[in-house]
Amino acid sequence: MALEDLLAGSEVISTRQKTEAEMTLITLFGAALIFGVVYFIYNNLIFNPYKAMKASAEKQLVKVAYLEELHKRRYGVYTTDLRRLALISGDAVQFQRDMQQYFRPKDFRIGISEDGYYIEGRAKDNADPEKTSMVYFVK
């Protein structure tokens, strides 16, 4: 009897009973199918948004690092001022939107020295900040 037979209320008449091996095989195949569907749903609906946000936040960190390098070339020093970096980006409004979209404001930091900088940001969407912590170093 198939699922559509159960839903329709049909009565199925079989000419022979299934053997124990056939029943075991059907049960294993069904369990594997259910496992596959659950795995697909988990990876595409639950897990992937986390990975996508982390990847986007990492890309934004690389952009900030690039802007730090531009600032160093233009002014001779690195900066911790995100407003200056936004102005250098060429589209300050979009830069600020991206920063607000990807990072928690209190969990984004830039540290500088004469010869390098440290950028740390945590993605905005995950409940466990340790899993989404991204750090970018340049020395």
Q: What is the largest CA-CA distance in the chain?
A: 87
State the pLDDT at residue 134: 67
State the pLDDT at residue 132: 60
Which residues are 112's β-sheet partners?
Answer: 117
Percent of residues, the chain, with pLDDT higher than 90: 35
pLDDT (tens digit per residue) in 36-90:
998 888 877 776 666 777 788 888 988 999 999 999 999 999 999 999 999 999 9
- Domain parsing of the chain, residue ranges: 17-138
- Where does the chain have alpha helices with state H? 3-8, 20-41, 48-75, 82-89, 92-102
Does residue 64 contact residue 81 with C-beta atoms inside 8 Å? Answer: no
Quote the pTM value: 0.62
Does residue 124 contact residue 103 with C-beta atoms inside 8 Å? Answer: yes
How buried is residue 57: exposed, middle or buried, by Cβ count under 10 Å (0-12/13-18/19+)?
Answer: buried
